[in-house]
Amino acid sequence: MQANLETTILRNLIQNEHFARQVIPFLKAEYFSESTSFVFQELGNFVAKFNNLPTREAFLIELDSADLRGVDVGEISSQVEQMFETVEAVDETWLMQSTEKWCQDRAIHLAILESINIIDGKHQTLSKNALPDILSEALGISFDRSVGHDYVDSAEGRYEFYHREEVRIPFDLDYFNRITKGGLPRKTLNIAMAGTGVGKSLFMCHCAGANLSQGQNVLYITMEMAEERIAERIDANLMNLPIDQLESLSKEMFDSKVEKIAKKTQGKLIIKEYPTGSAHVGHFRALLNELKLKKNFMPDVIYIDYLNICASSRMKGLGGSVNTYSLIKSIAEEIRGLAVEFDVPIMSATQTTRSGYGNSDVGLEDTSESFGLPATADFMFALISSEELEQLGQILVKQLKNRYNDPGANKRFVVGVDRSKMKLYDVEESAQNLIDSAAPTMPANDKPVATWGNNEKRDYSGFQV
């Protein structure tokens, strides 16, 4: 049966130009048996060279000039005769589907064989860390029959796209929903940038707790703090208690509060800890597949705390010859690829540079270690603090990059913060007195100054980012 399908595919490659041009880019020589593989390679070489299918005579001439050492010439001659036989035409839809499934089966079979070699230590270059990527690539084999978007002929579909309501994961903070048009879209990478102690983890823990309250499934991956410390912050947030009072709760009261939270949501929150700098998307992918298998859990949103202390699945760390720009850019691209693969938004964070730490007007250039990160992210913002804002119980948010909306609208705004309860909240509209488009200016004394809505100028020289 396998040989018959191979022959059918090969025959139609030589006799059906429409089928051949659609599937040749997706076929690989290793999918075929030995003699058929050689014939397919020669056919591919001919099409690539002459941009046309060969006649029987032309193909035989090409084969005569090919290197036939190590191949069964008689078997090849038999294959060629079968290829040019005139037979009843087959349904092209059936042929495409059968060829696609055959490719998938062959890719999985070859991936398993390669994995066995890796496990046995017989592979020359790959280690066991490559197993998830090998199997994932094999399982993802698909014929993409799209040849592009025709501007005129596809206008109707484009109109429907404009009016389709995109699934988003909303914030519980009004201004964040405004600047993202209702929340984070799926298949995106979103980055919060701040200095040490300003509130990166606080922001992500608050948002994770809010998503859980909204009935979403949340996966929180931490490489900076223990699982219990992340859960402690989310407990303080959802139980509306100062974090230092959690340990004084009785067991009965604690269980009662957890039960009350559970009754208010249909979602689940999973927190997974990895050692700093050791986990990459291969580990995250394996975790997601394991959660689906063991707990029937698929996240609606993923938090990674935080991106700079992840590892890359493609590059070795700084012990090798890779620079930080390439390493962090690689990590960002891999994590964004994970978001696309699992159809979820991913929120992570990054540090500012040393110069950005005390800067009152943070820009993308203040991104720590690699400018490749903001180049890859879909949405990026800075969290800014100062002594004055601390006294007011607020954090300043500045948009740095926004693919969802005009980044010039609401470019700066403030949110309230209760650090004891690990909570963020909306402030009154009167507190949003920063002019959206105004950037801090430098007066003669070189102290950063922000221009406010009432034309008052306030000294922000003590900013931390």
Query: Which amino acid type is present at position 267?
Result: G
Chain CA centroid to CA 23, Å: 28
Question: If you count them, how many residues does the chain have?
Answer: 465
Cis peptide before 151 (omega within 30 of 0): no
The answer to whether 371 and 325 have CB atoms below 8 angstroms apart is: yes
In degrees, to the nearest 5, what angle opens at C-alpha 185 toward C-alphas 182 and 187?
175
- Helix, strand, coil abundance in the chain, percent, nearest 5: 50, 15, 35
> CA–CA separation, 233 vs 236, rounded Å?
5
Taking CA atoms, 433 is separated from 97, 385, 402, 416, in Å, by 60, 16, 22, 14
Q: Which residue has the tokens 């046995």?
A: 120
The answer to whether 127 and 118 have CB atoms below 8 angstroms apart is: yes
Cis peptide before 162 (omega within 30 of 0): no
Residues linked to residue 168 through DSSP beta bridges, in sequence order: 185
> CA–CA separation, 245 vs 382, rounded Å?
30
| End-to-end alpha carbon distance in the chain | 65
pLDDT in the model for residue 48: 85
Instruction: Tell me which DSSP letter residue 130 carries.
Output: G
Which residue, among 403, 332, 397, has the nearest Cα to 362 in the 3D structure? Answer: 397
The answer to whether 276 and 226 have CB atoms below 8 angstroms apart is: no
Per-residue pLDDT of the chain (465 residues; tens, 9 = 90+): 444 788 888 888 888 888 888 888 888 888 988 778 888 888 888 888 888 888 888 888 888 887 777 777 777 788 788 888 887 888 888 988 899 899 989 999 999 998 998 888 888 777 777 787 788 778 777 776 666 788 888 898 888 888 877 789 999 999 999 999 999 999 999 999 988 888 899 999 999 999 999 999 999 999 988 999 999 999 999 999 999 999 999 999 999 999 999 999 999 999 999 999 888 998 999 999 999 988 999 999 999 988 988 988 877 655 555 677 788 888 999 999 999 999 999 999 998 866 555 556 666 776 766 677 888 999 999 998 888 888 889 999 999 999 999 988 889 999 999 999 999 999 988 777 654 444 444 343 444 444 444 444 444 445 455
Chain CA centroid to CA 463, Å: 32
What residue ranges define each of the domains in the chain, with the CATH number in brackets? 2-139 (1.10.860), 173-383 (3.40.50.300)
The answer to whether 400 and 193 have CB atoms below 8 angstroms apart is: yes
pLDDT in the model for residue 340: 93
Collect all residues with Cβ–Cβ distance below 8 Å to 282 and sequence separation of at least 6.
Answer: 129, 130, 132, 133, 313
DSSP letters spanning 359-398 = -SS--GGGBSS-THHHHH-SEEEEEEB-HHHHHHTEEEEE
Instruction: Tell me which DSSP letter residue 262 carries.
Output: H
The answer to whether 116 and 163 have CB atoms below 8 angstroms apart is: no
Taking the alpha carbons of 310, 316, 317, 321 in that order, is the dihedral positive or negative? Answer: negative
> CA–CA separation, 449 vs 465, rounded Å?
15
pLDDT in the model for residue 456: 44
Taking CA atoms, 341 is separated from 9, 26, 140, 186, 378, in Å, by 30, 20, 10, 10, 16
pLDDT in the model for residue 403: 93
> CA–CA separation, 36 vs 375, rounded Å?
45
Which residue, among 348, 311, 343, has the nearest Cα to 327 in the 3D structure? Answer: 311
The answer to whether 389 and 194 have CB atoms below 8 angstroms apart is: no
- What phi, psi does 256 have (nearest 5°)? -65, -40
pLDDT in the model for residue 371: 73
